Structure 1
Amino acid sequence: MRQDDLYINKIDWISILIYATLVCIGWFNIYAAVYDEQAAKSIFDFSINSGKQLVWIGTAVLLITIIMVADYRLFENLSLVFYGIFVFFLLITPFFGKEINGQRAWFELGSFRLQPAEFAKFATALALAKFMERPSFDLSQTKYQLQAVAIIMIPVALIMLQPDTGSAMVYSAFFIMMYREGMPQRYYVLALTLIAVSLLALGIENNLYLVIAIAAVVLLIILLGKKSISRIISLSLIGVLAIGYVYSLEYVVSKLPQHQQNRIMVLFDPDLDPLGVGWNVTQSKIAIGSGGFLGKGYLEGTQTKFDFVPEQHTDFIFCTLGEEFGWTGSFVVIILFCALLIRLIFLAERQKTRFSRVYGYCVVSILLFHFMINIAMTIGLFPVVGIPLPFFSYGGSSLWSFTILLFIFIKLDSHRIQLLGRMN
């Protein structure tokens, strides 16, 4: 058997099939989101979003071809170069980017816009994989933890200058990969505790109740546990820090831009401003709920037809699916995403090198974060932060970046035996 035939046989066609299915379903839903019954245009019409998305899909196929025919060693050898290039683009974006909705996050090329923050995700994943493949690397050591976090935080800091909180938030997904690679569990316990305290602090109108609860829990642990001076001092200090965090969080939130404060408040009280800040989420939930079990039928969604949900072809594309295909259609798409994530975890675990495994888990982490946050956002379980649904939402930057991210890993997986040979 020729080496080319062996390479073709090693390509994971299951992941490619799921990817193609999600892209096609997304394309049809983009058409549904912009469909106008009175001036119906073909799905292939380049003057509407579905036609434009078809162009992005075609160019994504071209990108896939380039990635799959390229030398697999290119991605490892040039990983730091890719990272440096996109850090540079992020650096100049606030100065030369196109301002849209108060953010300078896009470069405008004629009628097309490209968002460097989207592409920086795969570059950061490659840089982390290259950094962490070193034999001496050990995430249980503080110096390596700080170095890995620095690789993540450099693009985050530059994205916040645009400012684009949603895109910056996505980079926290890399900590899922770091957990798999040995980051101590205590950091994740602390992070989950802070998230829980934050939700309570923002959700409870009077923080005095939360402060009393924290003090009571600390006192109870002291009374029921071993009564040593050092333990009492440590627990008391933790209680003081927790109470201080509650009040400092309130101060930080008060300093956020008003629209971000409103989005957080609407999360806890959807009826706070149903005709203003809460409009998107309220209408999104109405659209999804009105779809029932089987949906209203393709191109028959009333919420969709009459433009009740803003940004329905991008961030809120999932509610189009829910309205027109109901619970059944939503369930099928969620199953497809879950199947892709499970498949990618399987592929990551079978890698022969740490570089490929780390990169694979970066892909899983980013896709999982986008998938969970986008759907949670459309059903009112998370503030609206402008995060697209992978392979589904309209937009060239989104589709291109997710395609590159995924297919670099599929390429590495298809050459896992050769990668092992290089290491020996």
Structure 2
Amino acid sequence: MVRETNKHFKFDWITIILFLLIVGFGYLNILSASHSTDVIDYFDLSEPYGKQLVFILLTFGIIVILLGIDAKFYERFSSVIYIVAMASLVGLFLFGKNVNGATSWYAIGGMTLQPSEFAKAATALAVAKYISDLNTDINRFKDQIRTFAIILIPALLVLLQNDTGSTIVYGAFFFVLYREGLPKYYLVIGISQIVLAICSLKFGPILTSIIAGVLIGAYKYFNRKKITYLQSAAILIAAVLLSFLIKHIYDYRLPEHQKNRITIWLSLEKDPVKLEKMKRTIAYNLHESEKAITSGGFSGKGFMEGTRTTGKFVPEQHTDYIFSTVGEEWGFLGCSLVVILFVLLLLRILHLAELQKSQFSRIYGYSVASIIFIHFFINIGMVMGLIPTIGIPLPMFSYGGSGLWAFTILIFIFIKLDSNRINEW
């Protein structure tokens, strides 16, 4: 009886500790970025830091519930969880609240809930369940289509709500599918399209088409047995059409705010004066964020001592731009600590995923790591101006109850699944 009782408490504490460190450090920066007076009431619900503390306390209740549920429940009811999540996304079109142009929230009393955050965990469970099924072969085209459909349904529903940032996150599942044996040509096609899109905007579709033709011709010359002339011609035609299509979408179809973000990121505006003006007006948040990070130097200005942070130079700094608070007040050392914590968490999850005896648990573990990585990579890249501005929070770090709880669910379901491996005798 003692053995049976104790085994339920064997969880991977390294992952749990890393999670708590990220959440705790995130709260300190939210407190610094959102406080407005010298006297701080930590439970002041009119302030973001007060709300976040309540969110964190409720998180511990969620953790207890997740770890208390039998691990088999998550696999057995993954389809039901997925359907409920999709229904919650559809319901937004009828009952959703519009915030900053996106209808992505339910208003519940005095708070809002964003179902797209929770849909990521539901999709991860559904993908893991389908691929791990004995009748599924990821190398079969029909199974690939069905898997893509599981991922694309929530992605399209979120996109229709005008939440492009959350839509991009679903690209994280590509890493999972590749790990499970998805043919390599999908990877080549995906990377090629990204490079083609950037080159078409930066250098124009004509020059991009010429470069594509040269590269395809060179590949054909050195790999004569792998590709025919007809295949080479088909690839070139597709590349040319895609190049002109991307330029057309950018010029005539893309919403103005998204077009401006890409223009600033790729420096497509040839007039340096106009470009600088765009950075100071349209990209004001990014401009101030970069200044805050660079002003922190090596060791930072100190906790709650950041002049740009306390002066509220970066609007809504406690949300998507929370990393700029770290840069100003904790400097290069603090930024490095955040990066190290996230890298350690990702490596730990991937390590545990590879140890799983269940394919379902392994796939779900890779899904967790991939979703966190996409959020982490895009958010920090965005705040530092390395990629276009996209509304994606820093996981467990940025302000927000939905995001914190969704990532808690994502991570602790995996910890519970992993506990089966730990507790096997």
Quick one: distance in 1 between partners of 2:372 and 2:182? 20
CA deviation after TM superposition for structure 1 residue 220, in Å: 4.2
Residue 2 of structure 1 corresponds to which residue in structure 2? 3
- Which has the larger displacement, 206-215 or 335-344? 206-215
* Gapped regions of structure 1 (runs ≥ 5): none
CA drift of 1:243 comes to 1.3
Identity score, percent: 43
Structure 2 CA distance for partners of 1:212 and 1:116, relative to 1, 3 Å: same
CA separation of 1:273 and 1:60: change in aligned 2, threshold 3 A: same
1:84 aligns with 2:83: yes
Match of 1:239 in 2: 236
Letter matched to residue 336 of structure 1: L
Letter in 2 for 1:415: N
1:313 aligns with 2:314: no
Assess, with a 3 A threshold, how the Cα gap between structure 1 residues 221 and 80 changes in structure 2: closer, same or farther. Answer: closer
Q: Is the 8 A contact 2:63 2:412 kept in 1?
A: yes
CA RMSD of aligned residues (A): 1.9
The equivalent residue for 1:27 is 27
Query: Could you tell me how far 1:227 is from its partner in structure 2?
Result: 9.8
**What are the superposed Cα offsets for residues 218-273 of structure 1, whole Å, 9 maximum, x if unpaired?**
34445666499x82332222222211111001112230211111111111126360
Structure 1 272/211 Cα, relative in aligned 2: closer, same or farther at 3 Å? farther
- What is the one-letter code of the residue matched to 1:236? A
The reply on whether 1:161 has 2:166 as its aligned counterpart is: no
Aligned length: 416
- Corresponding residue of 2:287: 282
Structure 2 residue matching 1:81: 3-state secondary structure: helix
| Structure 2 unaligned spans of 5+ | 268-274
Please list the CA deviations of residues 8-51 of structure 1 after superposition, one character each: whole Å capped at 9, or x if unmatched: 2x3001110111111010001001111235x5433443321111
Using the alignment, how far apart are the partners of 1:43 and 1:331 within structure 2? Answer: 27
Change in Cα spacing, 1:304 to 1:185, as seen in structure 2 (3 Å) is same
Question: Quick check: 1:195 aligned with 2:194?
Answer: yes
Cross-structure match for 2:379:
374
Residues 114 and 397, structure 1, Cα contact 8 Å, conserved in 2 = yes
- Specify the alignment match of 2:266 in structure 1: 268
8 A contact 2:262–2:388 mirrored in 1? yes
SS in 2 for 1:163: coil
CA distance in 2 between partners of 1:335 and 1:237 (Å): 45
Secondary structure of the structure 2 residue equivalent to 1:113: strand
CA separation of 1:40 and 1:207: change in aligned 2, threshold 3 A: farther
CA contact (8 A) 2:106 2:113 kept: yes
Code of the residue aligned with 2:12 in structure 1: it is D
Mean Cα deviation higher: 22-31 or 246-255 = 246-255
2:419 paired residue number? 414
Q: Read off the aligned partner of 1:14 and give its amino acid letter.
A: I
Please say if residues 308 and 314 of structure 2, whose CA atoms lie closer than 8 Å, have aligned partners that are also in contact: yes
How far apart in 2 are the matches of 1:226 and 1:54? 63
Contact 2:158 2:167 (C-alpha < 8 Å) held by counterparts? yes
In 1, distance between residues paired with 2:14 and 2:278? 45
Name the CA distance, whole Å, in 1 between partners of 2:33 and 2:94. Answer: 33
Is residue 11–residue 422 contact of structure 2 (8 Å, CA) maintained in 1?
no
Distance (Å, rounded) in 2 between the aligned partners of 1:34 and 1:268: 32
CA contact (8 A) 1:103 1:164 kept: yes
Distance 1:227 1:331, change over 3 A: closer
Determine the structure 2 residue equivalent to 1:360.
365
Secondary structure at 1:119's aligned position in 2?
Answer: helix
Task: Please tell me whether the aligned partners of residues 376 and 382 of structure 1 are also in contact (alpha carbons under 8 angstroms).
Answer: yes
